[in-house]
Amino acid sequence: MKVKKFDLKRLGALVYKESLQAIRDPSTLLIAFVLPVVLLFLFAYAVSLDVRDVRIGVVQESNSAPAQQLAAAFASTRYLNVTMAQDRREVAEQVVSGKLRGFVVIPQDFEQRLHSQNGLPLIQIITDGSQPNTANYVANYTQGVIQNWGAGAGMKVAPAAIELEPRYWFNAELESRRSLVPGAIAIVMTIIGTMLTALVVAREWERGTMEAVMSTPASVVEILIGKLLPYFVLGMLATLGAAALAIFVFNVPLRGSLAALLFLSAVFMIPALGQGLLISSVTRNQFLAAQIALFSGFLPAFMLSGFLYEIDGMPAPIQFITWFVPARYFVSSLKTVFLVGDIWAVFWPNLLAMAAIGTFFFVLAKRATRKNLEG
C-alpha cells in the first residue's frame, strides 16, 4: 500500500487545529499580542538611551556678575534640571543618594580666575560615575553650556584649530527610539517563535496528544509543519502589527520596502521556530523547555544581538558567541530596512546566516522527532 508522504488536506487539518488552540488559550494571546505591544511601548518610552531632564546641582560660591550670568545660563537650559545651592556639601550628599546626577561648582574666586589666566580651572564639574552613560552626558552637556556662555561673554578663547561637524545619518535627532523600536521587533519574534513554540510542542508531548496524532497516517513532516505554520503566521502578524505601531505611533520611518521587511522577518522565523522545535523535541517537558528557551533564546536575543549593546564593543570570545545568535542578523537587517532603505548588500549575508542556522536547527529537530515513541 502506498501512502502519500505529504498531503495538503491532512496538513490543512493540522494547521486548522493548531490555530484554534492558539486562539483559545488566553496565555498564547497574552504572549502573542499583549506582550509585544507592552514591550514596544516600553522600548519607545521607558528604555530611552537619550538622556533628558537630568537633575544636576549648580553650586554658586561666588556672587559676582559673571558667576550669576553663568548660573542663569545653566538654569535656562532645556535638557538639565538645575538645583541651585550655595554650599557644595548640600549637593554632594544628594549625588550619593542619587537625587542628583552631578553638579557644577562656580568657585568663590571665579571672577579673579577669569581674568588672571593663571592656569587654574574656572569651573569644576562633578558627575555621578556610578551611571557612566549619564555621567558622560552631564560632562559633555555642561561643558557645552559653559562654552556657549564663554562665547557670549566674549571670553578670550581662541578658535579651535580643527572643528568637527558631526552629521548623524538616518537619525539626525539621535533618538534612541529609532534604533530600539526596530530591534524590539526581533525580541518579539524571538518570544513568539522560540518561547511559544517550545511550550506548545512540549505540551503536546506532555498531554499525550502527540501519541494519538502519530497513530494517524499524517507524516512527521506534516505534523511539524502543521505545528509551526500557525506560529509562523502569528509571528508575521505580530511583526506587521509591531511595524505599524513603530511607524504610525512611534514615528519611526520605514525607509526600505515593506516587502523587504516581510521577507527578512519570514526568513528569521526559520531559526526562531527551529530553535523552539528543537528545544521541545529534546526536553518534552514544559518547565525545562521554558527555562532553556529563556536562557538560550530570549536573553541572548536581548543582550547579544547588538540590540542594546554594540557587538563591536564586545571581547572576541563573546563576539564569537554572537555569531550563533540568529537575532544578531535580524537586528542589523531591521535597523537598516527601517532607517536606511533596501540595502541588499547588508541583507544577503544576514539572510544566508539566518537560513543556515535555521536549517541546522531543523535538521537536529527532525532527527529528534521520529514518527514513533522510541527514545
Partner 1 sequence: MTKQSSSFSIVRLRAQFIKEVFSVLRDPRSRMVIFAPPLLQLLIFAFAATLEVSNVELAVYNQDSGRWSQELVMRLDHADFVSNIHYVGKSSDLQRLINEGKVIAGIQVPIDFSRQITAGASGQLQVLIDGRRSNSGQITFGYLSAIVADISAEVQAEQSQITPVVVRHWFNPNLNYRWFIVPGLSGILAFFSALMITSLSIARERELGTFDQLLVSPTSTAEIIISKSLPALAIGTLLGLLMIAAAVFLFQIPFSGSFWLLLISIVLFILSVVGIGLMISAISSTQQQAILGAFAIGVPAVLMSGFATPVENMPMILQALAQAIPLTHFLVIVQGSFLKALTPSDILANVWPLLVIAVVSLTLATLFVRRRLE
Partner 2 sequence: MLANNTAVVIEGVNKHFANTKALRNLSATIQYGQLTGIAGPDGAGKTTLMRILTGLLEPNAGHATVAGFDVVNNNEAIHVVTGYMPQRFGLYEDLTVMENMRLYARLRGMNVAEHTELFAELLEFTRLGPFTERLAGKLSGGMKQKLGLACALMARPKVLLLDEPAVGVDPVSRQDLWRMVQALTDEGMAVVWSTAYLDEAERCDTVLLLNEGQLVFQGPPEELTNRLVGRSFRLENVGAERRAVLAEVLNLPSVSDGVIQGAAVRAVLRKDAQVNELQQLANRVQATIQEVPPRFEDAFIDLLGGGPGGTSALAERLPKVELASNIAVSCKHLTKRFGDFTATNNVSFEVQKGEIFGLLGPNGAGKSTTFKMLCGLMKPTAGEAHVVGLDLRKATGAAKGQLGYMAQKFSLYGLLSVKQNLEFSAGVYGLSGAKQRQRIAEMIKGFALEPWLNSSPDSLPLGFKQRLALACAVMHQPPVLFLDEPTSGVDPITRREFWTHINGLARKGVTIMVTTHFMDEAEYCDRVALLHRSELIALDTPDALKRSAITEQCPDPTMEDAFIYLVEAADLADDLKKQGGV
**Residue 212 binding partner per list partner 1, partner 2, none, with a CB distance cut-off of 5 to 8 Å that depends on partner kind:** partner 2
Sole residue written with cell 547588538: 306
Which positions from 249 to 278 touch partner 1 by CB under 8 A, shown as an x/- string? Answer: ------------------------------
Residues whose CB is less than 8 angstroms from the CB of residue 304 and which lie 6 or more positions away in sequence, other chains included: 311, 314, 318, 321, 322, 325, 327, 328
According to CB under 8 A, which one of 234, 290, 357, 365 is a site residue for partner 1?
290
In the complex, what is the shortest distance from the CB of residue 202 to partner 1, in angstroms, rounded to a whole number? 9
Tell me whether residue 3 or residue 316 sits nearer to partner 1 (CB atom).
316
**Residue 174 binding partner per list partner 2, partner 1, none, with a CB distance cut-off of 5 to 8 Å that depends on partner kind:** partner 1
- Using alpha carbons, select from 124, 8, 14 the residue that is nearest to residue 61: 124
Amino acid present at 341: G
Q: Give the Cα separation of 207 and 40 in Å (integer).
A: 34
Tell me whether residue 334 or residue 365 sits nearer to partner 1 (CB atom).
334
Stretch that binds partner 1, among 59-67, 111-119, 237-245, 267-275 (CB under 8 A): 111-119
Sole residue written with cell 537650559: 77
276 touches 193 (CB < 8 A): yes
CB atoms within 10 A of CB 100: 25
Stretch that binds partner 2, among 7-15, 104-112, 113-121, 342-350 (CB under 8 A): 7-15
Query: Strand order of the sheet with strand 54-60?
Result: 80-85, 54-60, 102-106
Q: Give the Cα separation of 53 and 82 in Å (integer).
A: 9
State yes or no: residue 359 binds partner 1 (CB under 8 A): no
Within 134-163, the residues that bind partner 1 by CB under 8 A are: 134-136, 139-140, 142-143, 146-147, 150, 156-163
According to CB under 8 A, which one of 213, 343, 355, 368 is a site residue for partner 1?
343
100 touches 56 (CB < 8 A): yes
Chain residues in the site for partner 2 (CB under 8 A):
1, 3, 5, 7, 9-10, 12-14, 16-17, 20-21, 24-25, 207-209, 211-219, 371-374
